[in-house]
Structure 1
Amino acid sequence: MTRFAPINLSKFEKPTLIQQLDVEQIVDAMLDDYQKYFGDNGLEEVRIQGDPANRVLLVAAYREKLMREEFQEASWQTMLPFATGNNLDIIGARYGVVRQMLDPGDPDATPPIAPVMEDDDIFRLRIQLAPEAMTTAGSTASYRFNAISTGEEPATIDIDQPEPGVVVLTYRFDPNGYAAKIKSVEVVSPDPGVVDVIILGWDGNGIVSDDIKAAVEKHICGLYVRPFTDNTHVKKATIVNYKVTATIHLFHGPDASLVETEARKRLDAYVAERHRLGAEVTTSGIKKALQVEGVNKVLIDDTWQDIATDKYHAPFCNEPYALTFQKAAS
């Protein structure tokens, strides 16, 4: 029995933990409290707009509104589906999962080159899979976790007690190890007793090296990981190449260079996010990425066909975008 359920955390709606009130509602509540403690003495003056007491009341109500919003945002940062940055790192530490360093950078360069770290979405998925590390492979999630980690031993283990009753163990892996090179893993059972583990890498188009494939295979096919009855095969992802060709019509007025920069930035993010096993690249997704402020309409090349892949394949944009930005007639 596995404790993992294939839940898509991105589908969760943020819960309302702190009641959100507008300024008028807060003012009414303050006036009720005023009357409760002081009766009607001075109440009419407090209600008069422009009166100094009324202005103080409005400022206090506005500050309470901001505090409610800030507390709400802070509460979401304690939850796995919504935490980002360092807050997500702390959640990961509870499960012994540390954000991978994809590129150590160069602190001695001029200017210094910052390290490139694993993004929040991939890190969040590994945290979600962490409980499966306590089992052998067998479940889909357990196979995925063991393939992503490749069974590497942590380089260091730190123990910290940030508050009474809480102990945090932090495992740090070698950024040059195999685990840091694996972007995503999918598991398929094409026949009873047969398990295919498909791996996609971070580098280039995602096809991993033979060394990485061998490391994954050695770990998940080991005596204490693979169930005895499973016939397990590790496979490299098959890449489906594509090119984005589009014409972007701009409204009259906005700085075309700024619009183009933002559109390309958004398209880069979409293309990177779609570089996953089993992902789709769609007309609507490309148009949504390019439809930034200042864009009137987006036309995709007539030859384009949406890409839908299975768990053995991953889409990859292997050519520079062919984007034509047309300014509106003056």
Structure 2
Amino acid sequence: MKMPAIDLGKLPPPDAIEALDVDTLFAERIAELRAALIEENGSDEPWNAVLRADPLVKDQTVNSYRELLLRNRINEAVRAVLLATAMEGDLEQLSADFNLNRLEGESDDAFRARRQLAPEGYAVAGPEDAYRFHALSVDATIKQVSAVKGEDNRVTVVLLSREGNGSVNAGIVAKVHEALSPLSLRPMTDALYTRSADITETAVSIRIEIGPGPDAASVEAKALAGLQAYVASRHAVGVTLNYDGLIGAARKADPVERVTVLAPEADVDPGVMGAVFVTDIAVEVVRV
């Protein structure tokens, strides 16, 4: 049974990382200083006011900032050893235990996703995630891999590129096929086929109606940002660009009266071996 991959971005913040506030640290230090003076002298007189010009206060101010920097460095050290937050060289160190190297030009996010799949690499490439891991390890321009199992043990590995509309050139398709072909890497019974995703291109046109008050330019900018994020998330193999999803993304620009999708006229389903690429997003804001 395939286990769903954990969404690292939805993990709760680790307890080892603490929230930092220099004013809190300063107040704690002043309270400790008062307590020490009272314990030693029976009173904190004549020092009983927090005056910024007081040498003791200046000392605690400086040391509060030093403590803040130290605690932040500890937070950064914790983040450096967590897969969800490690970056650059730290992420490469975390990946070394799987004998995994960063591909040329591979971003942290792409490398992180491949590192998360790395345990699947120990399996012969029969499970879908094993095919995904081995194919993603061929070239950093490969954005996504889907393994579609059909009749007669046919396995079609579908590739989506980060470049252009997502179509993968024949040279990279051939490299992936060659990498997955050795019988030491895949089941003998699998009939392997490798191909680029079929790309369905579409433009998106949205009409937004607003009432008195909201700034039209601001509404347009927010709607455009929401739509860009949504269509980017739908640029994946076998993923439909949903009509309702476009409306929801455009409504990120609240307050709006109505959102109308002028194009496309319905859901755009690319099929299990295809992907949708949005060529243009147009947003029209009308005051009613």
**Coarse TM-score class (shorter-chain normalised):** 0.7 to 0.9
**What does 1:84-103 correspond to in 2, within 5 Å?**
84-85=87-88, 87-92=90-95, 95-101=99-105
Structure 2 gaps, min length 5: none
For residues 29-178 of structure 1, what are the structure 2 equivalents within 5 Å? Answer: 29-31=28-30, 33-34=32-33, 37-38=36-37, 39=39, 41=41, 43=44, 48-50=49-51, 52=54, 53-54=56-57, 57=60, 60-61=63-64, 64-65=67-68, 67-69=70-72, 71-85=74-88, 87-92=90-95, 95-101=99-105, 118-150=106-138
TM-score by length of 2: 0.72
- Between the aligned partners of 2:222 and 2:176, the Cα distance in structure 1 is 39
Please give the alpha-carbon distance, in whole angstroms, between the structure 2 residues aligned to 1:237 and 1:137.
20
| TM value normalised by structure 1 | 0.65
Cα deviation 1:115-146 (Å, max 9, x = unaligned) = xxx44332221222234444432222221122
1:19 aligns with 2:18: yes
* Structure 2 counterpart SS, 1:218: helix
Equivalents in 1 of 2:48, 2:260: separation in Å?
59
Which aligned pairs between 1:291-306 and structure 2 lie closer than 5 A?
291=252, 296-297=255-256, 299-301=259-261, 304-306=265-267
Secondary structure (helix, strand or coil) at the match of 2:116 reads helix
Q: Could you report, residue by residue, the CA deviation over 1:166-197 in whole angstroms, capped at 9, with x for unpaired residues? A: xxxxxxxxxxxxx2442210123345844332
Aligned partners of 1:285, 1:87: CA distance in 2, in Å? 38
Distance 1:182 1:305, change over 3 A: same
Q: 1:60 to 1:263 in 2, by over 3 A?
A: farther
Higher helix share: 2
2:169 maps to 209
Aligned residues: 279
Show the counterpart of 1:220.
180
User: In the alignment, is the contact (CA less than 8 A) between 1:89 and 1:99 conserved in 2?
Assistant: no
Structure 1 residue corresponding to 2:144, chosen from 180, 184, 188? 184
Aligned residues with identical type, % of pairs: 30
Moved more, 15-24 or 222-231: 15-24
Which residue identity is paired with 2:13? Answer: K
